[in-house]
Structure 1
Amino acid sequence: MGSATNQALAETTAALSAATGVDLNVARELFVAARELGQTSQLAGALADSAAAPAARAKVISDVFGAAMSPTTATLLTNAVQQRWSSPSDLIDGIEELAVRAATIASTEDVEAELFEFSRVVAANPELELALGSRLGVASAKGALVEKILDGRSGEAAVLIAASLVQHPRERRVRQLLSRAIRIVADERGRAVATVTAAAPLSAAQAARLTDLLSRRYGTQVSLNIVVDPTVVGGLRVQIADDVIDMSVSSRLADLRQRLAG
């Protein structure tokens, strides 16, 4: 991700934080806009063209989306296309991120935990992952399938995010889409996400101690997503963004085997 895109993301996130009337309808409309741009490369290219005047790009948004979207959504999209993005793909990603953040702002549910639980359902069902990730499936049918699976299990925001993302994967795997959304949700709520892999479920006391340790280490509130995997044998494997802390027995055994072999 280029420096231009990083700056653009900072500007659009600030605009979202300052906006009024952000609700799930705004998030839904932002997802629609991202999907439309993803399906129309010429439009995405024109809106991400920094050589074009910002006012001209804003007019395109008004002409294409203005009548069909709420004033809040139109304002956020206008702000987004007036930024400088490193590529059309980054612009689409940025609008999609705005949609995830808007859904998070509009919800009081634990959106992050609900998305994580759905990602575990996908991971445990190869046929479901294949169905959602197939290029041959109808996009709306994939969204409807997610809505059916999550009905009664997740809040509206998590359902909207998951169902929208699977309809517009853009060469990304389903679990990759969900992992990115989880990180965005956590960031919007001022947290970092730690994926903890353990051989057995952590007790409440163990989870609390680990949360406190990681929060102090990283200087921010850390939220745990716990994956139970008996193959780690014992200990823990913790991943926060690109940082991996591997304290698992399986890792130590693998290291020992490598040393003995070498």
Structure 2
Amino acid sequence: MQGEASLLSDRESRDSFAPKLRAAGLENERIYEELFSFAGLLDHNPRVQRALTDPSRPVEDKAKLVDDLLEGKAHPLTVQILHDVVGRRWSRMSHLANAVEDFGVDSVMYLADARNVTLRVSIELAQLHSAFLNLPQVRSKLSDVYMPEAKRVEFLKTVLAGQKLDPVTMILAIHATRALRNRRYLTIIQWLINKLSRHMGETMVTVTTAVPLTGEQVKRLVTTYSAKLNRPIHINSVVDPSVMGGMRIQYGSEVTDHTVVAQLQRLRRSVG
């Protein structure tokens, strides 16, 4: 999401509702579904988005339109959140749907907290990201906008059959293919991993290697980067055989690339 008005609206709104979503606990199982559903409604109805983001339209009218769309069937906190976001300013019409989706993901994270599975979900999403990185045909199908949403979800469930993933992991994995919203599947998964990391108060350090990291390597990386960044970190291990060897380490915009393929590229440039 870009645009000063949208960034400010999104931050203020989500910060104000964070305590309420946390307190909702297991009720978030209903709330996230309603928020994701409303975000989907906005994506597929530009006229509704336009009506709810029109700065000249009274906030009361927007709130009434939300109520009419929900038909009085939504959780009270869902209604409060949607009333709040439609009453704010957005730099672009589509940013309203972005904000509603953000709230939906927040709701899922608080559901994970209530079930005490947040760390497990973060790890499982990182494992999915690593596995799908080496399955281009699977990635292509999960990102195929010409395939109906239901078919993409069915395909994902078939691919993950027998994996024994936490139900909350499945909620997010399914959302990533159901709501592409002009994004690629792995881009959404990485976004979700980063959001979970921030939610847990950690910094995500993504380490890309040709083979899986050993337990000892993970411990050393945690020790090194916790001291370097002076805050808790979480290692997102990505296995990508194409790097051939070495490590690529990224946190935020900082990248240290000591993979074999990167060294070869630098060598070619130096002699080119």
TM-score (structure 2 length as normaliser) = 0.87
Matching residue of 1:156 = 167
Say whether 1:175 aligns with 2:186.
yes
* 3-state SS in 1 of match to 2:94: helix
Say whether 1:93 aligns with 2:98.
yes
1:55 to 60, 65, 80: 60
1:141 to 151, 159, 168: 151
Assess if the C-alpha contact under 8 Å between 2:127 and 2:237 holds in 1. Answer: no
Say whether 1:114 aligns with 2:124.
yes
Matching residue of 1:198 = 209
Assess if the C-alpha contact under 8 Å between 1:15 and 1:76 holds in 2. Answer: no
Deviation of the 1:40 alpha carbon? 0.4
Distance 1:229 1:56 in 2: 51
Compare 228-237 and 99-108 and name the one that shifted more: 228-237
Q: Percent identity?
A: 24
Structure 1 residues 50 and 216, CA gap change in structure 2 (3 angstroms): farther
Number of equivalent positions: 261
Matching residue of 2:107 = 102
Say whether 1:131 aligns with 2:141.
yes
Matching residue of 2:48 = 43
* 3-state SS in 1 of match to 2:164: coil
Structure 1 residues 253 and 138, CA gap change in structure 2 (3 angstroms): closer
Structure 1 residues 217 and 65, CA gap change in structure 2 (3 angstroms): farther
* 3-state SS in 2 of match to 1:238: strand
Distance 1:48 1:4 in 2: 12
Matching residue of 2:30 = 25
Distance 1:194 1:120 in 2: 14
Matching residue of 1:237 = 248
Deviation of the 1:231 alpha carbon? 4.0
Assess if the C-alpha contact under 8 Å between 1:198 and 1:227 holds in 2. Answer: yes
Structure 1 residues 86 and 196, CA gap change in structure 2 (3 angstroms): same
Amino acid at match of 2:93: P
Q: Deviations over 1:127-153 (max 9, x none)?
A: 322222222222123223334444552
Distance 1:159 1:93 in 2: 21
Amino acid at match of 2:17: L
Compare 199-208 and 104-113 and name the one that shifted more: 199-208
Amino acid at match of 1:211: V
Matching residue of 1:260 = 271
Assess if the C-alpha contact under 8 Å between 2:130 and 2:239 holds in 1. Answer: no
Distance 2:183 2:29 in 1: 24
Deviation of the 1:237 alpha carbon? 0.5
* 3-state SS in 2 of match to 1:153: coil
Q: Deviations over 1:196-221 (max 9, x none)?
A: 11233323232122123323333432
Compare 176-185 and 246-255 and name the one that shifted more: 246-255
Structure 1 residues 129 and 254, CA gap change in structure 2 (3 angstroms): closer
Distance 1:122 1:232 in 2: 16
Structure 1 residues 162 and 229, CA gap change in structure 2 (3 angstroms): closer
Distance 1:147 1:54 in 2: 41
| CA-atom RMSD in angstroms | 2.1
Distance 1:221 1:48 in 2: 39
Q: Deviations over 1:34-53 (max 9, x none)?
A: 11110001111221223323
Assess if the C-alpha contact under 8 Å between 1:104 and 1:185 holds in 2. Answer: yes
Matching residue of 1:188 = 199
* 3-state SS in 2 of match to 1:21: helix
